[in-house]
Amino acid sequence: MKNIDWTEIQSIISVAKLGSLSAAARLLSVSHSTILRRIQSFEYKHRIQVFVREQQGYHLSRHGRALLQDFDQIDRFMQGLQRRVTDYDAHLQGQLTLTTTENLFGSFVKKPLLEFAKVFPSIELELMISNQLVNMDQLEADVAVRPMAELPIGYFGFPLFELVFWVYGPSDHSGEVHQQDPFDYPDWVGFSGHLASARVGQILVERLQCKPALRADSFDGVAAAAEAGLGRALLPSFIGDALPGLSRLKSIEPIFTTRVFVLAPDDLKVSRRVNALLNYLNVYFQH
């Protein structure tokens, strides 16, 4: 099979159907001599005479007629493959929007998204980065990367990684005797805005015994307040562990974990741009 040259087969098929080298050369946009060279090369390599050269033109030999039956199948397969490849390439271009939060972008998805933009330069990737999570029923982007318990109805996708939430306090208080229940501490920093209605905010409301000294609508704001000594904070580990002024409370288990999904509306399942991005992120986070 390594000696099979598609251009040679294509030239044989064209000459067989058109009856002359010149007509085949015009069809394939090559020279007369190129068609002849390809046929001679095939006959020499495979030790078979494909054509009988007569004054009226080129006619298939007995062996050539037998070969052409197989070649026709190969030709139909190759033409179908070419159409699919062309169609695929035609759809791997155009605009594609993705929304995620500033924290997730900076800590997790920046690298694979920038790599994706380099691998698929014909796709015009537009990033909508904001800590204000978009209502999924009013999603203005094609693709979203966001934490959630499960995929909402009407969307497809899969989890990329998990976020682990711990209770953090100022590092200079790390020697304190810790309560059995971290929510018994008298001083806390709470959540406002979209975080108040998210799972992390709901957990804090359900378990907190005191009124927060301060509330913020971003993890960065909550972390900064906790680092300044205003109270304990419930934070994802990728934020809390990165701040030298904060430390996890000793002997405390994670409060909860949540998965971060990449998802898109069901009506975009047929979009090759969307599937290319989802598959790229999946491969990146699986390694």
Judged by phi (left if over 0) then psi (alpha if -120 to 50, else beta), residue 229 lies in left
The mean of the pLDDT values for the chain is 84
- Greatest mean pLDDT among 34-43, 74-83, 84-93 lies in 34-43
> Using one digit for the tens of pLDDT, what is the confidence trace for 228-249?
999 999 999 999 999 999 998 8
- Greatest mean pLDDT among 130-144, 222-236, 263-277 lies in 222-236
Interval 195-200 mean pLDDT: 87
User: Is the CATH number of domain 94-287 3.40.190.290?
Assistant: yes
The SS3 call for residue 118 is helix
Contact 278, 157 (CB under 8 A): yes
Long-range interactions of 225-231: CB distance < 8 A, separation 24+: 225/189, 226/168, 226/169, 226/170, 226/189, 227/170, 228/170, 229/170, 229/173, 230/187, 230/189, 231/185, 231/187, 231/188, 231/189
Tell me how crowded residue 6 is: count the other CB atoms within 10 A of its CB.
Answer: 10
pLDDT range class, residue 287, cuts 50, 70, 90: low
pLDDT at 71 over 50: yes
> Using one digit for the tens of pLDDT, what is the confidence trace for 133-169?
555 455 568 899 999 889 989 899 999 999 999 999 9
Report the alpha-carbon angle 244-245-246, nearest 5.
90
- The CATH architecture of the domain made up of 6-91 is Orthogonal Bundle (1.10)
pLDDT range class, residue 62, cuts 50, 70, 90: confident
Q: Where exactly are the structural domains of the chain? A: 6-91, 94-287
Which pLDDT does position 115 carry in this prediction?
A: 94
Q: What is the pTM of this model?
A: 0.64
pLDDT at 177 over 50: no
> Using one digit for the tens of pLDDT, what is the confidence trace for 248-258?
887 667 899 99
